[in-house]
Amino acid sequence: MAAIFPKSSDIILKVAGALLGLGALAGVGAYTYLTYPTVIDTGYQPVQPVPYSHKLHAGQLGLDCYYCHFTVYKAAYAAVPPTQTCMNCHTRVKPTSPRLEQVRQSFATDRPIPWVQIHRLPDYVYFNHSAHVTAGVSCVSCHGRIDQMIEVHQEKPLNMAFCLECHRNPAPNIRPAELVTKLDWVPDRDPAEIGREIIEAKHINPPTNCSGCHR
């Protein structure tokens, strides 16, 4: 009995199957790439509406992190400073600078400056700034040397592995609470030893179970 399909059909089907498979993989890859949230990338550095330099303010001028981000030690979220905070200085410091025109407009119209958030965790992650800051976790541990950044970028991955690594061994990231915002602090001995002493004194026990961060 003659074959219904020629032998070449086998090759055609195999090639077509391979092409379809590769096409599906390429489609998944393209979708993942195009929808990947850039805010969880290390190195993420969006353009801000006002050229604010942390290196100048926090570094050279020594402005304390708490002055602008005044809720980090008492609330879950780090406050974005209102324009009034900027104008506390800039009503007298460079009050006519063209670079600060949007700041002055914001203050005059009572409309907030549209700052672009850099460090943002997924909605399914619970993170409390005050719990970490009061325990002695410095800004440096999660954000890097902000005081050396002209334009702030995301330096640490802030992913699950990053958090768990610290929760399982927090000692190297724990310092005296009064030194949390002293970003250039250099310990006089092994920082892990200092951290272990504080952990014991404060009975710090970071959760490593799922419900600790996913509530």
Distances in Å between the alpha carbon of 32 and those of 11, 82, 101, 122?
32, 36, 39, 16
CB 154 within 8 A of CB 42: yes
Predicted structure pTM score: 0.79
Residue 13: what pLDDT?
A: 67
CB 138 within 8 A of CB 195: no
Has residue 67 got a pLDDT over 80? yes
pLDDT in tens, 111-139: 999 999 999 898 999 999 999 999 999 99
pLDDT over 70, % of the chain = 88
Has residue 10 got a pLDDT over 70? no
Distance CA 44, CA 31 (A): 20
Residue 35: what pLDDT?
A: 47
Has residue 89 got a pLDDT over 70? yes
pLDDT in tens, 188-204: 999 999 999 999 999 99
Distance CA 201, CA 125 (A): 28
Average pLDDT over residues 5-23: 70
Mean pLDDT value across the chain: 90
CB under 8 Å to 129, separation ≥6 — which residues?
A: 71, 72, 73, 75, 76, 77, 78
